[in-house]
Copies of this chain bind each other. A is one copy, B any other.
Amino acid sequence: MDAFASLLRWLDLAGSAVFAASGALVAARKGLDAVGFVVIAVVTGFGGGTLRDLLLGRMPPFWLQDPTWLAIASAVALLVFFLGHRLESRFQALLWADALGLALYAVLGAEIALLAGAQPWAAVLLGTVTATFGGVVRDVICNEIPLLLRQEIYALAALAGAAVFVLLRIEGVWRDPALLAGLA
């Protein structure tokens, strides 16, 4: 189970990093400075997981218990700040970052909800919320109508991914993030 907890932690870090990148890419489009990059990256990267923990009654949230999270999100933001202009298509990169983050967090959110004793349907819902909330906050702060509401494929992909994962889990099978990534 130790290896399992460690795997969950790595997936969570990867999801945060990817969402932080997506936040930083939006900051780039808005022409914000370095501080703005870090703030948006942190909010996008931690938003979904924080809401998940809040709804499960698990406070303080993960990123207040270990400085690794903050360090990684900030590093990603600064990386995008200094190197982002080399990307050929920022919007394309944003879509990829969002899709990958969605896949990771939908599965991870559902798993954590199941571990916390949530019913299967609630786990699917929490997976979807974990996967989409960071992006919604990012867009709200940047004063845009959330991408989630404009491109329905996002919410449906997260929902489908979380649902497939929970079904497999209940059947005793193991995870299949690849399937999810395919969907997204």
Contact = CB atoms under 8 A, between A and B. Distances in A.
Interface of A: 27, 30, 32-36, 39-40, 54-57, 59-61, 64-65, 67, 70, 118-119, 121-122, 125-126, 136, 140-146, 148-150, 152, 155-156
B145 A34 contact: no
Contact of A64 (B27, B32, B126, B155): B126
28 contacts: A27-B149, A32-B149, A33-B152, A34-B152, A35-B149, A36-B150, A39-B148, A39-B149, A54-B54, A54-B59, A55-B60, A55-B61, A55-B64, A56-B60, A57-B59, A57-B60, A64-B118, A64-B126, A67-B119, A67-B121, A136-B141, A140-B140, A140-B143, A141-B145, A141-B149, A142-B145, A143-B143, A143-B145
